Structure 1
């Protein structure tokens, strides 16, 4: 065999071996176990810079080889900036696909039914996965930022669990929750009982928030709504403690007293007729449904039995008997 043939064979064998080794590396898990490793690719980064950022975050990755992998597969220009996590068992090839598809690290935030908007803001502010851009905004400024037709935020955000990419702006959560609430409210309003004494969907939302706070037993929400609708139709005071508590604000210390019921505020439904000026909490779907489709009942009163259920009565005499039985 001539010298050139030997040289060609050597180079060919070496190239095949190099390609095989590179392919083996690209498909080999970077980590076998342990916790996911978080890392961030900064906006505007070249594939070389991105590879370096990933390695510096603690991912056991060879930046040079990863850059070569991205270039030979023609994916170098398609890498998306953002926050990610390397999961155990991921290979360089899988990692590259993750970057190209923009499979960002997922975070979540749960908004609880019955929370006030103040509690929602506290939960958003405490979430470390969000980029906080609204902390200095007042409630009114926040609503303006959302382009909302409403200036008062209470009740106008839907309680649910929201998923988002780590590092997303907190305004994204507010916008999504507000949009979902308006959508659910519109759907419920279109299906409402036409005999209801609400002039606007907002009044119905206010009723839903009262129902949300009055009972934790979902099966009774339609009956609770039926009682309050009957009171509105009969011109009676709603006389519901949760509205009084909401109007007390920071003065409420866990117990409501007789003087609190007698102290007038815009939310005191013992001293003022009709619905309060705004919702008092974030209602969920079942409370919205109850407010739009309340139970057909002659009940005007209810009292807690002490076991999570309520006793409903059509007149004051029977109600007083129920109070003596269950409360005194």
Structure 2
């Protein structure tokens, strides 16, 4: 018969073993969920709307992020995270732990990508880019929700870089871009110079889009704006090549030919006086400001010098000489 002290030693040994085993398990849990990186590579983890904590645990197991869904669920309940995790797509970086991913889900810190609306590009360029991307949801019919009473959304989206939640609808970003443009346009219109030949802020936007396409040089924007204003006041056709190009079929950049000038399009400002019916590009704040505050000069003409800049003239004879001069330079190159 075993002596009482031997029973005590056995019980102490068993208890010590259990404590060690439990300590080891706690250490393992700590390592797996709080210390060790959950993955060696970047992963996108998508949590569908309405997912329960249990479903999340199996999604993470299927993506080899965790080994035990049961332990993961127990931790979520212990830390009271079970009902606070938000749906969406989350980026798991190589240095992230399982728990840092959980904290992202608790904050709703979904994976976001950049959407750029670039000044000088056209609406068709943006539609093509959005349609080709698999990073978010877009259909051209979304534009109908923004168009309101306008013939086109051209020029009505403010150029900038916007943050877009991965896999989600791009419509909120488009609404933000439209709202931002409207705010800036209204602000600039209210502070415009007097005696401009524009009857509405939309006409100012149309003029600004022409400036945007004519030059990328900041110092020239207000000069070109002045030419537009002078021609409109004199009733002269604007004769701006970018408007003609906009009226041609297709979305690709084209080099105008002589026959293009003869096309009877509403955007052909060689054939039709006044502004074209809509903007012809996305417009920067700089071009809006230039349209609202043109340089007051007598210039009626300008010609491209071949280096991105332009030469401005008052008389048509000066313009013809300038054209011949830069044609010779272009042909020589």
* TM-score (norm: length of structure 1): 0.89
RMSD: 2.4
Q: State the shift of 1:146 in Å.
A: 2.9
Q: What is the match of residue 178 of structure 1?
A: 178
Query: Displacement, 1:126?
Result: 1.2
Provide the residue aligned with 2:37 in structure 1.
30
Q: Distance in 1 between matches of 2:249 and 2:187?
A: 31
Q: Alignment partner for residue 86 of structure 2, among 80, 83, 96?
A: 80
Partner SS for 2:312: strand
The CA deviation at 1:125 is: 0.7
Q: Partners in 2 of 1:32 and 1:246 — Cα distance?
A: 50
- The structural deviation recorded for 1:317 is 2.0
Question: What is the CA distance between 1:260 and its match in structure 2?
Answer: 2.2
Which residue of structure 2 aligns with residue 292 of structure 1?
292
1:8 is displaced (CA, Å) by: 6.3
Question: 2: distance between equivalents of 1:17 and 1:160?
Answer: 53
The residue aligned with 2:331 is: none
Distance in structure 2 (CA, Å) of the matches to 1:57 and 1:180: 40
Q: Please report how far the alpha carbon of residue 227 of structure 1 lies from its aligned counterpart in structure 2 after TM superposition.
A: 0.8
1:219 aligned residue: 219
Verify: 1:277 aligned to 2:277, yes or no.
yes
Q: How many residues align?
A: 321
- Secondary structure of 1:212's match? helix
Partners in 1 of 2:211 and 2:34 — Cα distance?
Answer: 56
Judge conservation of contact 1:144–1:151 (CA < 8 Å) in 2.
no
2: CA distance between counterparts of 1:215 and 1:327?
19
Cα distance in 2 for partners of 1:115, 1:245 equals 13
Corresponding residue of 1:128: 134
SS at match of 1:77: coil
Structure-2 residue corresponding to 1:44: 50
Q: Residues 40 and 126 from structure 1, CA distance in 2 versus in 1: closer, same or farther, beyond 3 angstroms?
A: same
Unaligned 5+ segments in structure 2 are: 329-333
2:168 matches 1:168 = yes
Distance 2:93 2:203 in 1: 48
Match of 1:268 in 2: 268
Q: Mark the runs of 5 or more structure 1 residues left unpaired by the alignment.
A: none
**Per-residue CA shift, 1:110-140, capped at 9, x if unaligned?**
22211111111111111211123x24x2xxx
Query: Contact conserved, 1:155 with 1:282, CA < 8 A, in 2?
Result: yes
Q: Is the 8 A contact 1:106 1:165 kept in 2?
A: yes
Query: 1:17, CA displacement in angstroms?
Result: 4.7
Alpha-carbon spacing, 1:278–1:61, altered in 2? closer, same or farther (3 Å): farther
Q: Is the 8 A contact 2:38 2:95 kept in 1?
A: yes
| 2:44 and 2:89 in contact (8 A); partners too | yes
1:255 deviates by: 3.3
What is the CA deviation profile of residues 229-288 of structure 1, one whole-angstrom value per residue up to 9, with x for unaligned ones?
A: 111112111010111111122398833233321232111111111101111111112111
* SS in structure 2 at match of 1:303: strand
Following superposition, the deviation at residue 16 of structure 1 comes to 4.7
Give the match for residue 311 of structure 2: 311
* Contact 1:37–1:58 (CA under 8 A) maintained in structure 2: no
Task: Describe the shift of the 1:105–1:75 C-alpha distance in structure 2 as closer, same or farther (beyond 3 A).
Answer: same
> Structure 1 residue 74: deviation in Å?
0.6
Structure 1 residue 45 displacement after superposition:
1.4
| Cα contact 1:26–1:69 (8 A) shared by 2 | no
Relative to the length of structure 2, the TM-score reads 0.88
**Conserved in 2, the CA contact under 8 Å of 1:38 and 1:57?**
no
Q: Give the secondary structure class of the aligned counterpart of 1:250.
A: coil
- Answer yes or no: is 1:240 the counterpart of 2:240: yes
Residues in 2 aligned to 1:32 and 1:43: alpha-carbon distance in whole angstroms: 24
Deviation of 1:316 (Å) = 1.3
